[in-house]
Every structure is written in C-alpha cells, then in structure tokens.
Structure 1
C-alpha cells in the first residue's frame, strides 16, 4: 500500500487547486494533506505542485502524473461501484451541477426526494451558470438546457424546454397585442442574456433582434419586470408558468412558437455507469417526462 499513499490527496488538491478544499473533501486536516503530498513528492523525487500563498497549480510533471492517477482512481471507483451496483442500490456521493430557476424549482426537490428514497446516498448540488468540466472537476452529471455542444458526453432528455412570449394584461391593453413577430419592433422588449428571440414561421426558424429599456441576465428578474407592466418578454416556460396560470402574464404570438428544445441530464462516457447516476437520471426522466 506504500505506493498508494498520498495519491488520493494529490488528485483532490489538483482538482480543487486548494489544500483546504481537498482536506474538507477527504475529511482530514490540511496539515495531513500537506504532509502526504510532501512525502509523495519526496518518494517520486519530483515537484508535483507549485504553491503560493494564494494558489496551487500543477507542474508539468504534476500534470502528467495527475492524469494517470485520475484514470487509476476512476477505474477503482468503477470497480467499487460495480460491486455496489450488484445490489441495485445507489450509494456514495452524487455530485451534480445545475443552474437557474429550473435547478432551484425542479431539480433540487427531485434530488431531495431521490435521496430520501435512498438512505445510503449523499447529494452535493452545485449551482453555477458556468459550464463545468464534468471529468476534471469531479462531477457525476449536470443538468443543461437547450442545444448541447459537448459531443463527448452522454445526454438523456428529461423533459421539454418550451419558449414562451408574454406580457401583462395591463401592458397589452395600453400598447396593444402584437399580431406578428415584426410588430415587436414597436414594443418595449425585456432583454435577457441574448439580444435575439427565437420564432418559427411554417417550417422555418429565425432569430429576431429585440431591444428595450430593461436588461437582465436573470430569468426571475425578467418575469418581475413583465408583471410590473414594463414590456414583453420571451423566456423558458418554467420561469413564467406560475405568472401565466395566475393571469399576471398572458402568452402572445403563440402561432410563432419555436420547436421545443430539451432539458438534458449529461454525464461522462464511462465504461461502467454507476447505479447512482443511472437510477437518478431515470428518476428525473420519469418525474418530468410529462
């Protein structure tokens, strides 16, 4: 076992770029992590990490060693998970990346329900708008919406993502309801992350550049502005569904709705998919399939 000493600590520090976070992940002290890595570097007669008072980074040798060690630990995890999977019970730590209102309102309650059904499971739910690297950052899966770009990942559609265009009844009464997409140029459009909105006419999809005096990269902020009669908004239906059901917002231009995209559970292409990931993705697909 002498050759294994310090490997897990080194990989954790490399992934988190932090001794403190690695110590927290492994449930040991920071000094213990530091001692293990110092002994590992001494045994290898090579410097693996560059340390400053503010950061930790890999040396060239450390990077090469990290990639090999990460592969080895992943293989060990797969072997351990294979034994667990024989019992068909998800166990261990399920680490997933989510973002936005869909993560808050739907994925978080679903993850809590799944954990309640599986007492041997721990869940780590990380909210970030950043597209994380699942493999190098140690995530089991991520929930992503829209068109996927990373073809190296496996993706399973868990539900549809529908865009809606809507405004408050008071705004429409004051300024009129647009009957065509082109009529939006005469309205105040509440602009989100993108300055273009998506529409469909016949079989043709197209983007329309919009403008207005309210800009926000937060979907809830856009909904609040629309409810306050400031203008027209386009965003995924899960942001606006409650306001639409209550009558605070009214869907418009429904004949020009673009084709639904999807919300996806994405995970690395491993030879052996763990029970915790496989069963959780199936749980989400069943929960949100309708």
Structure 2
C-alpha cells in the first residue's frame, strides 16, 4: 500500500464517527476501511482514532492530522474538478438531497433529462425529510422549499413556491368562509409538519401558529383530508392545483397569500462551484421556469 493511501478512509471515518458509515460513503467494505486506517496508523506510528463498541473518536494527534488531511483532500478535489470543468461536459458523482412530492414530480424529471444530456455523470438522488448537513453528509447540493434562512449556505431560487389556503365547498357551506387570518382560530385547520402558516398583509409577511384536528407530514394526505371536508389547509399549489381546477377545493383568504417563498438549490459557501453543480442548477431553473 502506498504510504498515504489510507487518508481518504481516515477522513471519512473521522467525519462520520463510524467505520460502517465511512464504508458506505466510499462504496467499499468495512474491512477495507479498517485495514487502510490501521495501515496509516502503523505508517505514522501514532494512534489516530479511539474505538469503542458504540463510537469512534479522534485522539489529540488524530484531530490535528484530520484537519490537515481535510484541507489536502479539499484542495485535491478542487484541482480534479478544475480539470473536469475544462472538458465542458460535467463528469463524476453528483449527490442531491431533496424531499417530498415536489422532488418526485419536478426535480426528478429534470435530473433525468440532465443525466441524459451528460452521460458521464453519476447522479444520486437522496429523498429524506430531515434537514441534512451538506458538508458532513457529502452532498453537492440540496433542494429546499420555503424561506432560505441558513446563512452558511449559498442559494439560487430555481422557481416560485405558491402557497394556497383552501377548503372544500362542503366545509365552507357548513362552517362558513374565514373572513380574516385571525378567524382561522375558529376553524378546523389541517396541520402539516409545521405548526404555523405563512401569510402576507400588505408588505408584511408573518407566520401564524395554528392548531388543528388533523395532522400529517404528507402533503397529499392533507389535500385528501381537505377534499373530504375535514377542514382548511395551506399547501404548495402543486398539491391542490388539480382539485382547485375541478372545483373539489375552493381558495380562501386569497388576499393574504404570501409572495416571499420559493424553491432553492443550495450548496455550502466553501464548496468549489463545479461545472456539474453550476450546470445542474441552471438546468433546474430552466426546466422549472414559470413554476
């Protein structure tokens, strides 16, 4: 083994604090990672990691070595990417974090067409409702909806995200139509992942915390509940567009629809903006134009 061959394995283990997660990230076996790290420690004649049955940590020497190795690998990655960028067509792995029906319905078809035009890419779409850490989890880009507040990320708005508040005609016939945002406290509200809905009053945007008799972290389940007359719902328009067109749902509080939300492609400040990321984001914006 070349004397520095185990550096990437060591950095992955230190980052994930796990040999098994490091192996998955590298696409190799646990034993391969373990052997490479052990060989590196023998070469350095130093213990870099502390190992228990539950956790892997860094020794003081390992922490210092880890920081240097991170810088080295980042520099090598940027040098490699600079060469790839000069070849016009993006190549290599593109890892994208996304979630929900919007990702399935809009981002996935755009990713398919992008890969079809760039067969040298290996695209990985990871659907997960949790908010991932792009750097430590090894993602090039994430698709996030709503209001971008994380200052550690750079974001490009790839399309609008229209929030619609609506209910079925049967619900409105039974309970009446809310005349103001404040009157929602007297209605049955169908609540999603968040406890608050977004509204606009003139130039002011605000969130209103609501309680309801139906809760789900799935937009389609919320839309079905609204169509079934269970209450009022606020959802991105793509969940309810068809039901609105067919008259199964009726918009309410239209004068208070927010205008400050969107769908964003985000990536870390310290990540070299490679051709594959730059071109993929531009492709998404083009495909979703007018959305």
- Cα distance, 1:62 vs structure 2: 2.5
In the alignment, what sits opposite 1:58? Answer: 58
The answer to which of 55-64 and 275-284 deviates more is: 55-64
- Cα distance, 1:273 vs structure 2: 1.7
1:11 aligns with 2:11: yes
Secondary structure of 1:2's aligned partner: coil
Structure 1, residues 230-257: CA drift from partner, whole Å, max 9, x if none?
0001122233223323332221111111
Instruction: State whether residues 82 and 272 of structure 1, in contact with CA within 8 Å, keep that contact through their aligned partners in structure 2.
Output: no
In the alignment, what sits opposite 1:83? Answer: 83
Instruction: State whether residues 144 and 263 of structure 2, in contact with CA within 8 Å, keep that contact through their aligned partners in structure 1.
Output: yes
Residues 1:100 and 1:58: Cα distance change in structure 2 (over 3 Å): farther
Secondary structure of 2:243's aligned partner: helix
In the alignment, what sits opposite 1:232? Answer: 232
In the alignment, what sits opposite 1:205? Answer: 205
In the alignment, what sits opposite 2:73? Answer: 73
The equivalences for 1:267-278 within 5 A come to 267-270=267-270, 272-278=272-278
- Cα distance, 1:129 vs structure 2: 2.5
The equivalences for 1:1-290 within 5 A come to 2-270=2-270, 272-290=272-290
Structure 2: distance between partners of 1:217 and 1:60: 43
- Cα distance, 1:270 vs structure 2: 4.1
Q: Aligned pairs, how many? A: 290
Structure 1: distance between partners of 2:189 and 2:40: 59
The answer to which of 112-121 and 201-210 deviates more is: 201-210
Instruction: State whether residues 115 and 123 of structure 1, in contact with CA within 8 Å, keep that contact through their aligned partners in structure 2.
Output: yes
Taking only aligned residues, the RMSD between alpha carbons, in angstroms, comes to 2.1
Instruction: State whether residues 134 and 267 of structure 2, in contact with CA within 8 Å, keep that contact through their aligned partners in structure 1.
Output: yes
Structure 2: distance between partners of 1:58 and 1:222: 46
Structure 1, residues 89-136: CA drift from partner, whole Å, max 9, x if none?
111100111122222222222212211221111111122222222222
Structure 1, residues 155-182: CA drift from partner, whole Å, max 9, x if none?
1110111211011122122222223223
Structure 1, residues 184-227: CA drift from partner, whole Å, max 9, x if none?
23321112233332222222333333222112233222112112
Structure 1: distance between partners of 2:86 and 2:35: 37
Structure 2: distance between partners of 1:142 and 1:230: 34
The TM-score with structure 1 as length reference comes to: 0.91
The TM-score with structure 2 as length reference comes to: 0.91
Residues 1:203 and 1:122: Cα distance change in structure 2 (over 3 Å): same
- Cα distance, 1:23 vs structure 2: 3.1
Structure 1, residues 60-84: CA drift from partner, whole Å, max 9, x if none?
4333322321221121111111111
Instruction: State whether residues 167 and 233 of structure 2, in contact with CA within 8 Å, keep that contact through their aligned partners in structure 1.
Output: yes
Instruction: State whether residues 189 and 232 of structure 1, in contact with CA within 8 Å, keep that contact through their aligned partners in structure 2.
Output: yes
The answer to which of 80-89 and 21-30 deviates more is: 21-30
Secondary structure of 1:96's aligned partner: strand
Secondary structure of 2:159's aligned partner: strand
Secondary structure of 2:46's aligned partner: coil
Instruction: State whether residues 4 and 40 of structure 2, in contact with CA within 8 Å, keep that contact through their aligned partners in structure 1.
Output: no
- Cα distance, 1:50 vs structure 2: 2.5
The answer to which of 155-164 and 38-47 deviates more is: 38-47
The answer to which of 15-24 and 158-167 deviates more is: 15-24
Unaligned runs of 5+ in 1: none
Instruction: State whether residues 191 and 212 of structure 1, in contact with CA within 8 Å, keep that contact through their aligned partners in structure 2.
Output: yes
